[in-house]
Each structure stands twice: as C-alpha cells, then as structure tokens.
Structure 1
Amino acid sequence: MQTKIKTILAIFILFVAASSCNDYLDLRPQDGIVRDEFWKTKEDVQAAVIGIYSSMLSSPPGVGDLTMTQYLFMHGELRGGMVTEGPNVTDDARDIMNTNVLPSNGLTDWGAFYRTINYCNTVIALAPAVRNEDPTFTQIQLNHFLSEALAIRAYLYFTLARTFKDVPLKLEPTLNDQDNFQLPTTPQNVVFDQVIEDLKLAEEYAVEDYGDVASNKGRITVYAINAMLADVYLWTEDYDQALIATTKVIDSNKYSLIDASNSWFNTVYARGNSSESIFEFQYTTANLGPFYNIFLQRPQFIAGPIVLEEVFGVDFDNPENADIRGVRASLVAGTNEIYKFTGLNNADRKALQDSDTHWFVYRYADVKLMRAEALARLGGINENIEQGQEALDIIEEIRLKREAIELTEMTVFPDNTSGILDYILAERAREFAFEGKRWYDLLRMARANDYERIDLLISNAIATAPPAQQQTIIAKLRDPNSHYLPINTFELFTNKALVQNPFYK
C-alpha cells in the first residue's frame, strides 16, 4: 500500500508540475520539486515511468488540451480521406480536412507531446543516480526503465517529425526555471536519426516479457521497439533494416493473426491485448478513453461516404460475404458511425461506463504489412521477383484471415513494384481504418524516391473535395511543405528561435 501511495503521489507531482506552467513546449517544472523530493528509490523511478504512460492516456489536472490519443487520431486521419465531419465537428478539425490549415489552428498544439517527452527526459537523466541512493536497485532494473523512457521519447519524436517535419529536439530534461526555452527546430532527417539511435539503445535494454499480458501489451517490450524501428526505417528508406526489424518480431513466435469469427471484433478491439497486439494504450473502466464522446455521444467524425464500398467492398448479391474488418468492426452501415472504438461485439455497443477500448499503436498485422512494403521496395531495387512474391503472399495471408471479399482483390504481378505498393496501401486502409495511420501511410509512400508518387496525395485529396476547390488543393499539395502542419502561432510568439514552415509564411 505504501508503494502504491508513493506511486500515485509521484504521478500527481509530475502532473502538477506540468499543469503549473504555460511556457514553451510545456517543459518548465516547479523548481526543485522533482529532484529534491523524489528519485531516492527504485519505486520512485517506477512511479515516474508509470507517469509517462499515464500522461499518454489523459492530460494532467488543470491542463485543457486534448488527450494525446485524440491528437494521434486527428493527425493521422483527418487528411487521410477516410474520415469526414460529424455534426459536432470543430472548425479546426474541419479546416484540416479541407486542406485549409492556419498556424492559429488549435490542433497544431504540440504541448501534449513535449510534456511527455520531458517526463521521458527526466527519467533518462535522473534515474541512473538513484542506484547510488537505493542499494536494492539493480542495473538490469534501471536498464528496463530507461528502455521504456527512450522508446516512448523516440516514438513521440517520430510522430512529431512525421506531423510537423522539422521540430525542436530536446534531449535533456527541464528541471529549473533557468533552462533555455529558446530552441530552434531540428531538420526532420536529424530527428529521425535520433529516433533510431534511441530505439537501438532501448532495444539493448528492453524487456521481453513482464510476466503478465497487460504489461506485455501496455508497456514497451523489445518487440514494440522492433515494430517502431521497422516503421522509422520505412520512412528513411532503409528497407534492409526494416526487413531485419520485422523479422525479429515474426521470429519471436509471440504474435499471431486471429481467424475471422463472431468473436474476432470483441477479442481484437473491444477487449484488446490479444495475440495480435504488440503495443496498446491501456484505457480502463477507471480511466476511460475519449472515443465514446467524439464518435458516439457528440460525434465529431464519421466514416467517409466512400469507405464502405470502396475500401471494404460490398457484395450486394450476397450480404453474408463480407470483410470481417468492415461493417460493425470499423463502421456502421447507413450512418457511417465509427464503431471500432465504441463497439462491444458485432451487434452491441459498450455502455459509457465500460468504454475502455484501447488505442492500438502497433499490431501484428502492421508488422506483416511493413515487411511486405520493405520486400516490395527491395524487390524493385534488386529486380528480385521472389521478394515481390513474398510481399504478395503476406497480403494474401492477411486477406484470408480477414475474409476480404473478391471485389477488393487486385491482380498484381511480383515484378510490379508500384502495383504491389498500391495493394499494400489499399490493404492497410482496410486493416487500420481509423487507427491514426492513414495519412502517414499515404505520405510515407508518396515521398519515397524524391516524391515519386505524389499522385497518391493528390488523388486522395480530390476524391472527396468539392470540384470548385480541387485545383486549389492540387496546387497546395504540389508543395511538399504543405504535407506537414504549421508551427502553432503561440509557439512562435513564445519561442523566437522558431522559424515557421515556409508554406505557412
């Protein structure tokens, strides 16, 4: 009980420290409170690490920004062409969907990300010295905690760089009011390099098995790190390393795709932490997620009108022939309600008090399809038809497990790299609908080989844009800087070292 009280108190202090400040990057703590009153025992370190995870689930007391999960959903989906506005959509969200983003848009606030990054930095900087205070704190235990902090920091910087491009890179904690808050942006490629460096070190220190399912799915493991590395390597076009990273996950034999059945949705999504899960944000009935409100009670977003027929396909001759991922899994037919995060099973929704569906960061299907993407790229580079065929085999494996219908099947030959990539992109739309990945998938594939496939972004945008706006949107998207969100006006005002993305000047 005493340890639990210390844990709760430590998390509370961390959150109070963040909520008390309104300075640049949400990094400024109350002077001395973290260093002087904590960091004495391994339990303090554990509490700080738990605070990192808690900060990704909800904002600290007194802070009015959105949860990180909401930002992850909106940054990854609003420009992806599969989401449209619901009756309670905000002006800021509508503007992003309409490719009409200004620096004053509230959804360009990155405070939630930097707040958690500072928690990670604090653990990385202060935890090692606790071994001098607590003789029971082993090097192995320290390494495990550092692995979690390093990996989460890496994931958040990876997300920021995919969303804003060039961002401030701060690797030291903000521990007092004398710290420098005037930080310039760091180029995206340098941020990616740092992410890889952090993940490699985290991999060396990582836990393979915590001994219980919830921790193995809700905390950083070596396999979550491998999944992150595969993702980053695809963005940096290092396909050999992406292949190696996916192999580590697959060869662990710890994960598997679940066969389609009446219980598939409940197992994978409603309950979560299934054999397909690699890393999930662990909402509970005591700490509910934001989804019930934004998708059901006061819906801000619904599935786009083309999603059911064009993404999942509809067999009008045989309604029973349906992709397991479509109706009453991703969405509700007719209303286009986003169902993935509010449903209990194929027929019933969860009650409000039970709306504990997780946020899915990485699932096994993601690793499989990232592997297919790396193989397709390497097959084209090496003129290796076998690698192209292996990529197609992975797609077919997933389609069989999900009972994908013939209408969505594509005829692609193993030497057709572009065709295989299009097939992967289409399969990712079905597999990860509304999981915060669509825009990043489009952008990653479009920007490879010096924007060889910029047509992916343009065709995606004009598919749902009013005819009168299409030419304006096309002109915007031809500028690569438009593919990233602007730095928020408040950040520019607070930090004079920042320079705005040229597209938004």
Structure 2
Amino acid sequence: MMKKIKYIFLLLILAFQFTACNDWLTVLPENEQVSDEYWTSKEEVEAVLGSGYVYLRDAYEQLFMWGELRGASIYSRVAGGGYGEDLQSFQITPDDGDLVSWAPLYKVINMSNSVIANAETVMQRDETFDEAVMNSYLTEAYFLRALSYFYIVRNWRDAPLILEPYETDKISYEKAKSSEADIITQIKADITTALETSAAKEKFEEDWATKGRATKWALHALMADVCLWNEDYATTILHCNEILDATSAFRPVFVTDPTKWIELYYPGNSNGSIFELNWDDITYNQTNELTTVMGNGAPAYTYTGQMLLDWIDETEETGVVEAVRSIYGSYTPDVDADNYADANIGYIWKYSGIGFQEQQRAENDANFIIYRVADVVLMKAEAMILNSSDIQSWTVAVELINKVRTRSNLPEIEPVLAEVSEADMLAFVLHERNMEFAAEGKRWYDLLRMGKRNNFKYRNQFLVEMVVDYNNTANPAWIRSVLNTDDALYLPIETSELENNRLLVQNPYYQVLN
C-alpha cells in the first residue's frame, strides 16, 4: 500500500514551526501520514501549510520546463539528461518520468486539502488558534490548491479532482479524471472563497514572505490568469484592476525605473513582484540550479536561435547604453556589449547575473517568479483587446503594452487602430510577453491560450507557426502534425499513475502512439 501511496498523493508530516524562512522552506517532511491525532495545535496547521510551499518550490524545474520548452523560445542543450529534450521535440511519452508526472502538484494539493479539512478542528482544540489566523491560513491553502490545479489543467487538461486529504490507508487512491471545465470551476470557487473571507493578507511581517506566500494580490493575479485562460475577459479585467488600481500602501507596483528592472531577479522579492518561489543560499543553505544551468559556463538552457535574433533586434532598437531586459538582463555575457550583434549563444542572464555582464551572482538561490505586476499589465491588455473591439478599449490596451515597453527603454508602438485587426493587436501582446517573461515558465501557456481561444481561431498563427519559427530541434512537418492534433497539445499521464489508479484513462493521443 505504501508503494502505491508513493506514486499517488502522499501526505507527509512536517515537524517544524512556521515563523521564519528557514522553518518552512528548509526542513523536509518525514514519511508518515497525518492522522486525526496530529491535528491538535496551530503549529501543526502551520507545518502542513508550509509543506505545501516546500513541495511547490521543489517542483520549480518542472514548472520551468512545462512552461517553456514547448514554447520554443528556450532551448535545452543537454542531450540524454533530464532537461526536457522530449518536450521541445514533441516526442514526449508516458515513460518520461518527471517530465510527465503530476505527482509534485498533487503533493501540494494534498497538503492544501489537509489544512482546509482540519483547520477548524484545530481551532476547537487549541484556544490560542485565533479564527482570523485560521482564515488567513485557509486563504493560502485555497491559493496553493487553485494554482496547482491550474498548472494541471494547462498541462493535462483533464485530471482527477481531489478535494479531500489522504489521511488513512482506508481512503481510495483510485479516482477518475474530471473535465477541464469542472476543474476550472473548482479553481474559481477556491479563489472566490479565499477572497470573500477578506482574510487574505496584503503583506506579511517578513518582506520575503510578502512575496513568497500567498497574499490578496496573488489571489487576484491567479484569478485574472484563470479567467483569461477560459475566455472570461470581463472578469479578467476586474481582477487585474484590483491590483493595478489599488491604493493600499502595501500593494505591489509596476517597476517604472529601467535601472530597477534587474532587481526583480537580483536580489528578488522586489515591489514589482506578486508571488515567487524563494531560496536563501547564504543564510539557510537553500539552493537551486537556476544560476548554473543558465549561466555562461556550460548552460543547460539558452535562448533558441530566433529568440537570440529577437534580443539582438531589441538591443538595436534601444542601443547598448539604454538596453534594459536585453543586454542589461542579458544574453551576451561572453562578448563585449558593443559587439552584441556577434553573439551566437543566448544566455539567460536574468538568473545568473546581477545587472552587468562581468558580474555573476555567487549564490545559487535565484528566485522563480510566478506572478509579477508586468504580467498583470499585459493580461489586462490582452483582455481589453478580446473583451471589446471598440477603439477606446484598444487604446487602453496599447497604453498598457507601451507601459512595459517604455520601462524597457523601447519605442512605443503606434498602430492605427482603425486599420489593424484583432490578430494584429494580439501579436503585439504576445511579442511583449515573450520578451518580458522569457524563461519565467509562461511561453507555452501563452501560445496555447492564444491558439486555442474561440475554437482554435488562431491555432495556425499563434501556436503552430510560432513554434515552427522558434523551435531549434524538431522537424517543422512533425511540429505541424502534432500541434494540429488537439489531444497532442497536452501531456500524457505518467505510466506509474496508470498502473496504480485503474480508473485513469490515458490521453487518447498517447494511446495511439503506444
């Protein structure tokens, strides 16, 4: 039984406090299930909630690969390793292990389910557990569950919808898939529940926690993203505005100073961030591989050829002295900045540098940003284009796009709105998102969202041909064949999951392949 639980939703105990960064981002869980006897104090609720963040952080490399490699702006250069080659070549199979395993996300979900199911019981047992504190913890649990299911929907489309914790071996681990529509409904319900209590914090006592734990702002950003995904544009705009129009002193704000752009990544947790996965190498020996696998030594990931040309073109627009997210962010740490056009490798310097070509960060603890304010700005621009075709709405969209471009020292776009199409406007957004969020785990979801909307109206323009143009590894005919097959746009269910859950049915595309 324990072997099966290992493959399916394993719930583990964390015996640690939740009062400092090292407490809930360092200590690893023990291999025991949380029984009813466990839930006796608020510290135990904190510990299980903290473990949800730990599991999400542990999944950072999958989040990166799932969101980038099929989008073709980022290239895995290492053959025969665990760097996602099958993803970028669209040769993925159910036997590709971690590349197709949803287990890390279900671990987060299971921890969230445990907090949601047991927090009130603990409040009755522990008189020091204040109701306001409990409700605050619940908002974080709802966020983590909703975010995890949103990743699952975008990668597998249909999946088991688990809303109860696995606390004893008597609970069945076999569960059939729910539809994407049902999962999206649950995601929205979780976020709505969290927001309606008004218990979500605007900030935490520690600065890192304000960006490393779920806040009110993170809930609104996630809801905007989910609504954009399922074509609810009016609601997307409402939730974007909750962030962009906020007047609270604790609100995240758009970074307007070009010289501050690099601070999003070094040291991280900037005011322009909303939610990011945190590490601290120096204080707590918390490390990841982002700095090394994207540095200028022997990088595992670089920008693809076409993406490198895009960076060079952008630098040409600004000039080296004024460049922000291109040279400053950067892609040419091994050539003189003045010779940027000679670059032949597109280094992903935002995770490795500290702002200048000759300065590489010594710590291996770059944060991985899930949401930042620039993302919300461009989500609103996209929604404004799609929610209405009137000139006023599109004018707002252009202003939002130019807000990001101006911060990057780029010239504003000046389309004649009476003469451009919806597709033209969306192309502006998609280009800006590609450059602004490069290597932040968003490109594939952007292409898939653009391509599938309105019954795949833009499949060829924004999905198929975009991937063909940028992909470094796969045959164009093969890419077109895969991306014109609806089921192939999503991952297969990993083999061990099928073996241990007899109610699961494989994605039809991979049934045919196997």
| Displacement of 1:151 | 0.6
Match of 1:425 in 2: 430
| Displacement of 1:274 | 1.2
Match of 1:247 in 2: 241
| Displacement of 1:329 | 1.1
The aligned amino acid for 2:254 is L
1:231 and 1:259 map into 2 onto residues whose CA distance is: 23
Q: Is the 8 A contact 1:343 1:349 kept in 2?
A: yes
Q: Is the 8 A contact 1:218 1:282 kept in 2?
A: yes
Q: Is the 8 A contact 2:69 2:76 kept in 1?
A: no
1:437-483 Cα deviation digits (max 9, x unpaired) = 00000111111100000011111222145799222321221111111
| Displacement of 1:255 | 2.7
The aligned amino acid for 1:276 is G
1:294-443 matches, cutoff 5 A? 294-296=293-295, 299-310=299-310, 313-314=313-314, 319-320=319-320, 323-332=323-332, 333-352=343-362, 354-380=363-389, 384-404=390-410, 409=413, 411=415, 413=417, 416-443=421-448
2:79 and 2:289 map into 1 onto residues whose CA distance is: 14
Correspondence 1:470 to 2:454 = no
SS in 2 for 1:302: strand
Match of 2:47 in 1: 47
1:467 and 1:94 map into 2 onto residues whose CA distance is: 9
> Aligned pair in 2 of structure 1 residues 349, 120: CA closer, same or farther (>3 Å)?
farther
SS in 2 for 1:442: helix
User: What RMSD, in angstroms, separates the aligned Cα atoms of the two structures?
Assistant: 2.5
| Displacement of 1:10 | 9.1
> Aligned pair in 2 of structure 1 residues 393, 186: CA closer, same or farther (>3 Å)?
same
Match of 2:496 in 1: 490
Match of 1:219 in 2: 213
1:8-63 Cα deviation digits (max 9, x unpaired) = 8999997223xxxxxxxxxxx53xx5432x321222212222222122223xxxxx
Correspondence 1:264 to 2:276 = no
Q: Is the 8 A contact 1:168 1:184 kept in 2?
A: yes
SS in 2 for 1:306: helix
SS in 1 for 2:276: strand
| Displacement of 1:236 | 1.1
| Displacement of 1:202 | 1.2
The aligned amino acid for 1:362 is Y
2:414 and 2:473 map into 1 onto residues whose CA distance is: 29
SS in 2 for 1:398: helix
Give me the TM-score of the superposition, normalised by structure 2.
0.86
1:42-81 matches, cutoff 5 A? 42-58=42-58, 68-81=59-72
The aligned amino acid for 1:242 is T
- Match among 89, 100, 114 for residue 98 of structure 1: 89
1:314 and 1:160 map into 2 onto residues whose CA distance is: 34
Match of 1:457 in 2: 463
Give me the TM-score of the superposition, normalised by structure 1.
0.87
Match of 1:284 in 2: 280
Q: Structure 1: give runs of 5+ residues left out of the alignment.
A: 18-28, 59-67
2:223 and 2:399 map into 1 onto residues whose CA distance is: 23
Q: Structure 2: give runs of 5+ residues left out of the alignment.
A: 1-13, 333-342
Match of 2:5 in 1: none
1:163-202 matches, cutoff 5 A? 163-202=155-194
2:447 and 2:360 map into 1 onto residues whose CA distance is: 32
2:454 and 2:487 map into 1 onto residues whose CA distance is: 16
Number of aligned residue pairs = 473
| Displacement of 1:343 | 1.4
1:282-305 Cα deviation digits (max 9, x unpaired) = 111121123134223653211111
Segment drifting more, 3-12 vs 388-397? 3-12
Q: Is the 8 A contact 2:195 2:219 kept in 1?
A: yes
Match of 2:204 in 1: 210
> Aligned pair in 2 of structure 1 residues 420, 12: CA closer, same or farther (>3 Å)?
closer
1:39 and 1:466 map into 2 onto residues whose CA distance is: 52
Segment drifting more, 79-88 vs 216-225? 79-88
| Displacement of 1:105 | 1.3
2:163 and 2:208 map into 1 onto residues whose CA distance is: 29
1:492 and 1:144 map into 2 onto residues whose CA distance is: 36
| Displacement of 1:210 | 2.1
Correspondence 1:120 to 2:112 = yes
| Displacement of 1:323 | 3.9
2:142 and 2:77 map into 1 onto residues whose CA distance is: 37
